[in-house]
Amino acid sequence: MRDHFRLITLAVVMATGIVAPVTAAGATTSVKSDTLGLFHPADRTVRLRTSLSAGPPDVLPYVIGVSGDVPVVGDWNGDGVDGTGYYRNSDHTFHLRDVLDTTGPSDHAFVADFALPGDVPVIGDWDGDGRDGIGTYRPSDLTFRLRNLRNSGPADYQFASGAAGDKPVAGDWNGDGKDSVGLFRPGTGNFHLRNALSSGASNYAFDHPRVDPGDLPVIGDWDGDGIDTAGAYRNSSRTFTALAANNATAAVTASYVTGSSGDQPLAGDWRLDVADPDPAQLARVYGFYADPAGHATQWVAANSGDPRAGPIRQSIAGRPGASWFGNWSGDIYDAVDAYVSAAEAVHQVPIIVAYNIPGRDCGGASGGGAGSPTAYREWIDDFAAGVGDRPALVIIEPDALAQAHSGCIPDSGDLQTRFDLIRYAINAFGGHAWTYADGGNANWWSAEEMSARLTRAGVADARGVAINVSNFYTTAQSTTYGDAIRAGVGKPYLIDTSRNGAGGTPGDWCNPASARLGAPSKVGSGGAEFLVWVKVAGDSDGPCGIGAGIPAGTFSPALAVHLINGS
C-alpha cells in the first residue's frame, strides 16, 4: 500500500509504511514510518504508541472484538494512518474500523468468501492504491488468497507457498509501493520474502540474528525509507528488535523492552502527521474524547452488581460525548483546561458545552446562569482561555437563541443583551476551537426565524450551528432543518444524536418515553459536519415525563436503560 500493510494474528504481526500522501488541507506530511503497538488477549485491549520507543501508550487504549477474534491493522480508507479491526474465524468475517477507538460500529464489515475456519488473516496493499486489502493464508493447503478490496468477493490472487508450520508475513520488500507476502519459519527464525504475488523462489531468505524459537515476527517500515524490514518480539523478555534491512547481517534499528506477559505485537503508523490539525482531522483518526468521570461511568463503577450496569456499560458509559460546564464547575479556567488537556494527551477531540448565560432556560428546570452580563463575559473569557488554541468542539449556550423572544425576555434591552452575549461568546474563542451557536431543533422555530436570530447573534464568526441539542428529532429530520439553516446563514452544522434514535414529538421535550439512543459520535459524511452526543445520555431533562422526581442534569439508571431498550 501507499502507506502500510498489516497482518496480526496471535502468532504473527506485519506492517509496512512509505511516504504519505498530501493531506486534505494540502500540506505535505512528514515521511511515514511504523511504530509498535500491543494487543493483550486477556482483556482484548489495544495499546498504541506513536514513537518507536518504550513508554506508555499515547493513543487512548481500547477494546476490540470478543475472545478468539484476531486483531488486524491496516489503512482502510487511504488517509495515511492505520486503523484496526479483527477477523472472526468462526464465521470468517472481517470487522474493520477507520478510527482508533471502538466506540462506534465497524466501517467495513463483511464475509471473506474465500476463507475457511482455520485460515490466518493477511492484510496488505496488494495493488498499490494506498488502501489495504484483505486475505488469508490456509495452513492446511499452504495457500494465500488475497483480495484488493475490503468487501465480500473472490480472491484476486491465489497461490501456494511455504511448508508446514510456516507463518505468513507481508510487506513492501522492495519499495515499489505494493505489498507482497512471505513466510516466517518459527523453528529456525528464517524469513522467506518474495516481491511478487505468486509462487516462486524467495527474493530475500535469511535468519533474523535476534530470533529464538517462540518469538513473534513483526514487519514494518521502521525508518520511513519505504521498505519493510523484519523485526521480532520475544514475549518471555518482552523485547522488541527491528532490523534495518532484510538480511542476516543487518544493523539493528530499534531494540527495547515493552508490554506485559502474553502481549502480542501490532505494527502500524498511528500518527496523524499534519501540522496543527483541526478538530475534523483529529476526530477522523483518534475519535472524540469520553469523559472518564462521566455520569454513566461513575454510576457503573459504583453499582457493578446492579443488573442495569451491564447494559449501561456496554451502550453509554465510556462513549464519547459532550461535557457541560456552567456555574457548578468551580474555577472555569482550571476545569476546562484540565478537561481539554486530558483529551489532548490522547490526541482526541473534546466536545464541550458552555451553559451559563444569564437567565438560562427561561427560568425552567435548568434555570440559573451567570449573575450579570459582566459576570458572564468574565466567565466565558476564562472558559475560552482554558481551551486556548487547542482543537475542540464548543457548543455555545443551548436554547439561548431559541428562547431569545419577548415571551421569555420581555425587556427589549435585555433581549438585545442576550444576542450580544452570544456574539461575545463566539468571538472569545480562537485557534482550533470550533464554536457552534445553538440553533434549536426541527420543530421549535422555522429555519428562517432561527437563521435571523443566529445572524443577529454573530454566527458569521462561529464555525457553525448546533442542531437538536438535548432533543429527539431524527438525524434525517435534523438534516433537513440543518440544510435550511445552512442556506440561511452560510455555515455548517452538527447534530446531537444522543437520544434521537426513535425520533421526537413536538412539545414532548422532557424525558419522553419514546426516546432511544442515536448514532455514536463521529465525523459526518454528508449533511452534518459532525454527529455527536451533546446531551449526556441518561441525564434527566427535569422532574417530568418518565423522569418524574429526577432533577435536571441528574443521572438516572432507569432513564439510561430506557434509552437503550425502551424498558
Residues that are catalytic = 361, 399
Residue from 399, 436, 401 nearest 552 by CA: 399
Strand 322-325 and strand 351-354: pairing?
Answer: parallel
Instruction: Round to whole Å and give the CA distance between 452 and 457.
Output: 9
Residue whose entry in the numeric block shows the C-alpha cell 522492495: 174
Secondary structure string (H, E, C) spanning 335-363: HHHHHHHHHHHCCCECEEEECCCCCEHHH
Residue from 193, 147, 148, 135 nearest 166 by CA: 193
Instruction: Report CA-CA distances (Å) from 46 to 37, 49, 72, 290, 350.
Output: 7, 10, 11, 17, 21
Strand 120-121 and strand 45-48: pairing?
Answer: unpaired
- How far from chain centre, in Å, is Cα 224? 25
Specify which residues 193 forms β-bridges with.
182, 204
Secondary structure string (H, E, C) spanning 154-198: CCCEEEECCCCCCEEEEECCCCCCCCEEEEEECCCCEEEECCCCC
Assigned C-alpha cell, 505: 414529538
Assigned C-alpha cell, 39: 494487543
Report yes or no: 41 and 70 within 8 Å, Cβ to Cβ. no
Residue 447 has, within 13 A of its CA and on its CB side, a CA count of 20
Instruction: Report CA-CA distances (Å) from 83 to 42, 64, 99, 567.
Output: 21, 12, 6, 36
Residue from 112, 117, 186 nearest 151 by CA: 112
Contacting residues for 378 by C-beta, under 8 A, at least 6 apart: none
Specify which residues 522 forms β-bridges with.
531
Residue whose entry in the numeric block shows the C-alpha cell 415525563: 545
- How far from chain centre, in Å, is Cα 172? 28
Instruction: Round to whole Å and give the CA distance between 114 and 475.
Output: 37
